[in-house]
């Protein structure tokens, strides 16, 4: 059982890669949610989920609710009777955000504010918002909007009072096999015999969908409100990923794209002062007076030393080419 067993749950962006996997996990639980609302603006994805994955005849507790996080009134309607919320809706493609900044801001920042206000007014108990490593020291618009979103969610605890909704954030790196990831791109380029690599030094954090869901459920179980949860996950070199996907192909260095980092960081030094380390994750406590040095619900954490940085290039945990190949095997169909 988990924190959502027998509860009323809503997932924004519920038809996306993470949302579908999370719905599957929750419905397969020994005690599934009593009501599970899939909230998304994509009508066709709702139809696909209802027909091919979670039909209402088999899963009567599922509700398919078409709506946009930009529409606060629609959110309020969807949140009626909801106890727990997982916020996975976002515009996440770096290049699309750079070309359409107003749209990215409206969804990632305006949508976060709408959800917070709606949750505060409808009796929601706990909210966990999904974030990204690109929100730590952002250099592109997507990362900047997610940093703003993170600040909105952590500060929302100011507004909820002693017995109101609690808000926390989960921050992690690239999700293995998610839409828009580099793996489908490499598989397509494999047909041409050459894989373009931005820089052979480039590193990234990688996490599986199951690990991401595990962390969200952990946060919902132990959150006090205002924390940012960061998983302990491995790094990999992008060049090693290319070798795992297509060892027979040549690689071509094409240069770092606008808004792209050579390495990603999940915990910068300035946040390390507020960070606790646990066996499987870190917790960045909020720098807010209302926190009042309270004990985190999972009280076994150790304070990180001054100057600690959790970056993909200095991470002690790395994936080899063989380990990467084993991880991506289910995704490689060509």
Do 243 and 321 touch, CB atoms closer than 8 A?
yes
User: Which pairing describes strands 35-40 and 62-66: parallel, antiparallel, or unpaired?
Assistant: parallel
Question: Which CA distances in Å does 250 have to 152, 197, 333?
Answer: 45, 10, 20
Q: Is 177 exposed, middle or buried (0-12, 13-18, 19+ CB in 10 A)?
A: middle
Tokens of 230: 């960061």
134: annotated active-site residue: yes
Distance between CA atoms of 126 and 22, rounded to whole angstroms? 17
Q: Is 263 exposed, middle or buried (0-12, 13-18, 19+ CB in 10 A)?
A: middle
Tokens of 299: 């009280």
Tokens of 138: 């952002």
C-beta neighbour count of 260 within 10 angstroms? 16
Question: Which CA distances in Å does 186 have to 89, 167, 180, 196?
Answer: 26, 37, 11, 8
Closest CA to 209 of 50, 28, 25: 25
Alpha helices in 17-156 (DSSP H): 17-28, 43-48, 72-78, 94-99, 101-105, 111-122, 141-155
Single out the catalytic residue among 7, 20, 134, 232: 134
The set of catalytic residues is 134
């Amino acid at each position: 059982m988990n924190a959502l067993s027998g509860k009323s749950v809503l997932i924004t962006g519920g038809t996306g890669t993470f949302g579908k996997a999370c719905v599957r996990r929750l419905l397969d639980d020994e005690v599934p949610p009593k009501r599970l609302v899939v909230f998304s603006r994509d009508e066709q994805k709702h139809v696909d989920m209802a027909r091919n994955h979670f039909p209402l005849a088999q899963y009567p507790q599922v509700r398919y609710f078409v709506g946009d996080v930009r529409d606060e009134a629609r959110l309020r309607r969807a949140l009626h009777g909801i106890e727990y919320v997982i916020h996975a809706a976002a515009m996440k493609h770096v290049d699309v955000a750079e070309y359409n900044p107003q749209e990215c801001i409206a969804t990632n920042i305006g949508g976060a504010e709408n959800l917070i206000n709606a949750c505060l007014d409808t009796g929601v108990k706990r909210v966990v918002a999904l974030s990204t490593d690109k929100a730590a020291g952002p250099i592109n618009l997507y990362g900047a909007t997610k940093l703003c979103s993170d600040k909105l969610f952590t500060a929302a605890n100011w507004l909820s009072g002693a017995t109101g909704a609690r808000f926390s954030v989960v921050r992690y790196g690239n999700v293995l096999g998610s839409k828009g990831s580099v793996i489908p791109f490499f598989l397509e380029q494999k047909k041409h015999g050459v894989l373009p690599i931005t820089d052979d030094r480039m590193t990234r954090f990688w996490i599986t969908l199951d690990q991401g869901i595990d962390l969200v459920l952990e946060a919902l179980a132990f959150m006090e409100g205002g924390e940012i949860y960061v998983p302990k996950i491995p790094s990999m070199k992008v060049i090693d990923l290319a070798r795992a996907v297509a060892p027979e192909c040549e690689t071509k260095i094409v240069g770092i794209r606008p808004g792209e980092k050579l390495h990603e960081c999940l915990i910068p030094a300035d946040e390390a002062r507020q960070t606790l380390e646990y066996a499987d994750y870190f917790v960045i406590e909020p720098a807010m007076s209302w926190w009042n040095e309270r004990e985190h619900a999972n009280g076994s954490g150790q304070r990180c030393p001054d100057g600690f940085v959790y970056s993909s290039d200095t991470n002690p945990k790395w994936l080899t080419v063989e380990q990467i190949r084993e991880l991506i095997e289910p995704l490689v169909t060509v």
